[in-house]
Amino acid sequence: MSEYIIVSSIFFVVVLLLLIFRRRKTAQQMRQLAEETELQKQQIILEQQRNQQLKQEMTNNIAHELKTPVSSILGYLEILLGDKPVSAEQQRYFLERCNSQALRLSDLIRDVSLINKLEESAELFPRGEVSVSDVVSEVLRDLADRIAALQITVADTLPDDMMVCGNRSLLYSIFRNLVENTIAYAGSAVTIGIETYREDDDCYYIHFYDTGCGVDSTYLPKLFDRFLRIDQGRSRKNGGTGLGLSIVKHAVLFHGGDIYAKNRAEGGLEYFFSLKKS
């Protein structure tokens, strides 16, 4: 009988210890869960604050970018509608300037709309099988006159069978903006190279480069930021919206890839990016 009481007592103690341990473990898990939940909450708040700051910065930048062309158009129209006589030659000049600034406004609105759609409604862009080499060929045809005017040589060695499941319009934007950026800033008599440097089961890896002047290394980390202008005067002269490379990055991300840029050791700027096959 005493042995039974001893065994029962030991069993009761063991069960009691297990319950205490489990209770402590549960309490520890609850504390850990609460800490993780609070951390996630703080991260969400920080992300919301960051997004709000980015939106505010973009709003301010858009307002600033709109101000110049709108002021120019109003100024030219004020002269044309004023009391002082304006020669036919001056009228044509002012109208051409108004047209140029209106086109710039149109480009800015288009690019802002595209970035907003990519950020907030990317699922609205249809996907399908697209030949990357066909897209690049189309870009080069569309920009042929500007390329020839600057005596730029293009070395396009992308394979003909390079197919991705993506959006043709966005793929076109990637290569068009990269080529236009080279046309605007690399200089004349340079070479543009477009090639694949790697391929695996999931992605194509593309190397886009020019042999131009490159950029100051301090700007490289910000190269894909919105409204970045390394040379304010040249940028405005060339009519850029300051959103081209930001669109490139968003479009690459849409296609499951990533992109970075660096100066070439031989001179010029180069981009490395990937596109998912499916």
CATH code of the domain covering residue 168: 3.30.565.10
Mean pLDDT value across the chain: 85
- Helical (H) or strand (E) element with 191: strand 191-199
pLDDT at site 11: 63
Crossing angle of the two packed helices 244-254 and 88-120, in degrees rounded to 10: 30
Give me the residue label for tokens 């065994």. 7
Is 35 domain-assigned?
no
Chain segment 63-79, per-residue pLDDT in tens: 777 788 888 899 989 98
- At residue 216, φ and ψ (nearest 5 deg) are -60, 135
Lowest mean pLDDT among 23-37, 66-80, 198-212, 243-257: 23-37
Is 164 domain-assigned?
yes
pLDDT at site 96: 93
- Helical (H) or strand (E) element with 156: strand 153-156
105 vs 38, which has greater pLDDT? 105
Chain segment 208-232, per-residue pLDDT in tens: 999 998 888 888 888 888 777 665 4
Q: Domain of residue 180: give its range.
A: 127-276
- Percentage of residues of the chain with pLDDT beyond 90: 48
Chain segment 87-104, per-residue pLDDT in tens: 999 999 989 999 989 988
pLDDT at site 216: 86
Is 234 domain-assigned?
yes
Is 269 domain-assigned?
yes
Is 213 domain-assigned?
yes
pLDDT at site 236: 46
Is 147 domain-assigned?
yes
Is 226 domain-assigned?
yes
State yes or no: pLDDT of 81 exceeds 60.
yes
Chain segment 136-187, per-residue pLDDT in tens: 999 999 999 999 999 999 999 999 999 999 999 999 999 999 999 999 999 9
pLDDT at site 136: 97
Query: Secondary structure of the chain: what % helix, strand, coil (to 5)?
Result: 60, 15, 25
Is 167 domain-assigned?
yes
Query: How many domains would you assign to the chain?
Result: 1
DSSP secondary structure, 81-137, as one string = TSSS---HHHHHHHHHHHHHHHHHHHHHHHHHHHHHHHHH-GGGS--EEEEHHHHHH
Quick one: pLDDT band at residue 43, thresholds 50, 70, 90? confident
Q: What is the pTM of this model?
A: 0.73
